[in-house]
């Protein structure tokens, strides 16, 4: 049986092919799953998708009509999947509930330090043999306060790095993480965390309750010289409101690895096209903003774990087994 994998990156392809070689034939496509590409899956019982796939009701209906019975998404988040439609169509949906939290936490810190120490601006200057220091002054993280919104595995890993820098820790979550408390983290209401933190990092899932968690009101409550980092999901931040605050000259730096309208943009080469998204186009012009293309998870370790878990999900589906990765079980 051939498995069809959508949205496969060039670096990811050999890992997928190697992982499946003892089990199934796998066909890797670099196109992303949406209503236009869904008919390609006709005749494939199992489809694997990437984080930016469109798995709304319309796409699921096309897949089901073509014979697809199982979708194995290669990500933890599943806000892009209409689970009710999948259940109605009798489709099994699985995701990867765990992979290296260090990949995302370390990248979040890379963003924080890059905007704090003006690394991109400095690198651009030195390529032009401009070695001035004007405008490159940053701040010590030691002794300052890190606010962590979401203290699960990734948030905990981020907090451990902050602790290593010698920072004070504030946390916000629906439940306290004992490991974070041991590091000295104090859990406080979101408004207090935002008002007191020099660095705010987001590590919560995207769901209706967290959509625009950082909205206009939240942004105004943050310190003018704060650093904001989002390596979780773009929809956590109201980007239009963020642009408004940046235009007012606020924030030392903003590091974004995700964007709320990234589907159809991220993971693709748009360098020769006019970008119709005015908000994103304006966002990347700010000298204190660094935007990357949803790459925080993209390490050999994390991608390897994601691929291995995807293989296991497929084997479990075949055997009728159910694991914590299954969002909609086999009917």
pLDDT tens by residue, 135-156: 999 999 999 999 999 999 999 9
Q: Say how far apart CA 49 and CA 265 lie, in whole Å.
A: 16
DSSP E strands, 74-220: 92-94, 145-149, 168-172, 186-187, 199-202
What pLDDT, on the 0 to 100 scale, is given for residue 77?
Answer: 86
Asked whether the beta carbons of 152 and 99 are under 8 A apart, the reply is: no
What pLDDT, on the 0 to 100 scale, is given for residue 24?
Answer: 81
Q: Say how far apart CA 240 and CA 280 lie, in whole Å.
A: 9
Total length of the chain: 331
Q: Which residues pair with 81 in a beta bridge?
A: 55
The DSSP letter of residue 236 is: G
Q: What is the pLDDT of residues 288-304, one digit of tens each?
A: 999 999 999 999 999 99
Q: Which residues pair with 230 in a beta bridge?
A: 202, 256
**pTM value?**
0.92
Asked whether the beta carbons of 146 and 197 are under 8 A apart, the reply is: yes
Asked whether the beta carbons of 255 and 112 are under 8 A apart, the reply is: yes
Smallest CA-to-CA distance from 223 within 185, 253, 203, 244 is with 253
* Residue 266, both tokens: 């991220």
What pLDDT, on the 0 to 100 scale, is given for residue 57?
Answer: 97
Question: Annotated catalytic sites, by residue?
Answer: 233, 262, 294
Q: Say how far apart CA 181 and CA 162 lie, in whole Å.
A: 13
Smallest CA-to-CA distance from 62 within 79, 85, 29 is with 85
**Tens-of-pLDDT digits for all 331 residues of the chain?**
799 999 999 999 999 999 999 888 999 999 999 999 999 999 999 999 998 899 999 999 999 999 999 999 999 989 899 999 999 999 999 999 999 999 999 999 999 999 999 999 999 999 999 999 999 999 999 999 999 999 999 999 999 999 999 999 999 999 999 999 999 999 999 999 999 999 999 999 999 999 999 999 999 999 999 999 999 999 999 999 999 999 999 999 999 999 999 988 998 899 999 999 999 999 999 999 999 999 999 999 999 999 999 999 999 999 999 999 999 998 7
β-pairing, 253-256 vs 227-230, is: parallel
Q: Say how far apart CA 66 and CA 54 lie, in whole Å.
A: 16
């Amino acid at each position: 049986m051939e498995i069809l994998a959508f949205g496969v990156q060039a670096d990811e392809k050999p890992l997928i092919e190697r992982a499946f070689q003892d089990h199934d034939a796998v066909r890797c496509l670099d196109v992303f799953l949406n209503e236009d590409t869904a008919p390609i899956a006709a005749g494939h019982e199992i489809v694997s998708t990437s984080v930016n796939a469109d798995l709304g009701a319309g796409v699921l209906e096309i897949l089901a009509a073509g014979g697809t019975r199982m979708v194995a998404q290669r990500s933890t988040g599943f806000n892009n999947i209409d689970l009710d439609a999948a259940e109605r169509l009798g489709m099994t949906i699985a995701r990867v509930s765990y992979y290296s939290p260090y990949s995302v936490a370390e990248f979040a810190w890379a963003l924080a330090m890059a905007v704090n120490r003006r690394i991109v601006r400095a690198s651009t200057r030195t390529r032009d043999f401009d070695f001035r220091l004007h405008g490159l002054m940053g701040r010590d993280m030691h002794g300052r306060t890190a606010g962590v919104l979401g203290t699960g595995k990734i948030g905990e890993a981020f907090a451990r790095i902050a602790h290593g820098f010698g920072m004070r820790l504030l946390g916000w979550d629906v439940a306290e993480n004992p490991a974070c408390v041991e590091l000295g983290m104090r859990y406080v209401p979101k408004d207090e965390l935002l008002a007191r933190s020099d660095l705010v990092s987001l590590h919560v899932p995207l769901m209706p309750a967290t959509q625009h968690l950082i909205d206009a009101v939240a942004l105004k409550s943050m310190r003018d010289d704060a650093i904001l980092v989002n390596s979780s999901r773009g929809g956590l931040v109201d980007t239009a409101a963020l642009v408004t605050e940046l235009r007012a000259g606020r924030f030392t730096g903003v590091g974004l690895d995700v964007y709320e309208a990234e589907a159809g943009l991220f993971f693709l080469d748009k360098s020769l096209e006019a970008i119709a998204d005015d908000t994103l186009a304006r966002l990347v012009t700010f000298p204190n903003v660094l935007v990357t293309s949803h790459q925080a998870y993209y390490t050999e370790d994390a991608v390897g774990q994601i691929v291995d878990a995807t293989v296991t999900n497929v084997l479990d589906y075949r055997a009728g087994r159910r694991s914590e990765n299954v969002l909609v079980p086999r009917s």
